Amino acid sequence: MPTGQPTVLLVDDEPDIVDIYALAFSDAEYAVERAHDGEAALEAAADADVILLDRRMPGLSGEDVLTELRERELDVRVAMVTAVDPDFDIAEMPFDAYLTKPVSDEELRETVDTLLALARYDEQVRERYVVAQKLAMLEAEKTRRELEGSEEYASLRARAAELDAAATETVGEMTRDAFERALSGIVEDGIGRDA
């Protein structure tokens, strides 16, 4: 991540939404770039630290953009900001955070700030955050019975346990309490809604 002002790339096919999101980052703390389609997003991505990416856009979708970004191995954090409720397909999507519209300015800022902070930490810590996001989204949307019957969900829980077991080795200067605070509100005890 470059030093100085972090760059946030806002990507949505609706220009008014991009303009509204930009208000969350109107102070001098952030540089804001805008893109209104997938092609423009890919052109601007190399200069971004965090991308807030709409999942469904005409032409090159947000999912396509995300896949291309990861294939290019760009060191950029990506938050999907979408009206699409999460389903089990998110288990394999390589995003860093998933926000369901409508989102507040505060939610956008907190997400960007968290992703910028996580960018300073080990890849394994970032992966744990991503796994926690996916688990939390599925747990909020699916019943206990659906979760218990999902191989994808079981795989995510197993990966979370593996990462937790290795956390003390990879967190470095970040204490376990600080790590847990970073994840607070993302993962709650329990497996999801009752069936």
> What is the Cβ-side half-sphere exposure of residue 166, based on CA atoms within 13 angstroms?
13
Helix 151-170 to helix 176-183 angle (10° resolution) is 150
The confidence score (pLDDT) of residue 122 equals 60
* Contact residues for 174 (Cβ-Cβ < 8 A; gap 6+): 121, 125, 182
pLDDT tens digits along 36-71: 999 999 999 999 999 999 999 999 999 999 999 999
CB 122 within 8 A of CB 166: no
Q: What is the mean pLDDT of residues 144-157?
A: 95
Given a cut of 80, is residue 123 above it in pLDDT?
Answer: no
Q: Is 81 helix (H, G, I), strand (E, B) or coil?
A: strand
Domains of the chain: 7-120 (3.40.50.2300), 124-183 (no CATH)
Q: What is the mean pLDDT of residues 125-136?
A: 88
Given a cut of 80, is residue 82 above it in pLDDT?
Answer: yes
pTM above threshold 0.85: no
The confidence score (pLDDT) of residue 167 equals 67
The confidence score (pLDDT) of residue 118 equals 77
Q: Which residue has the tokens 């970040």?
A: 174
Which is more confident, 22 or 163? 22
> What is the Cβ-side half-sphere exposure of residue 79, based on CA atoms within 13 angstroms?
27
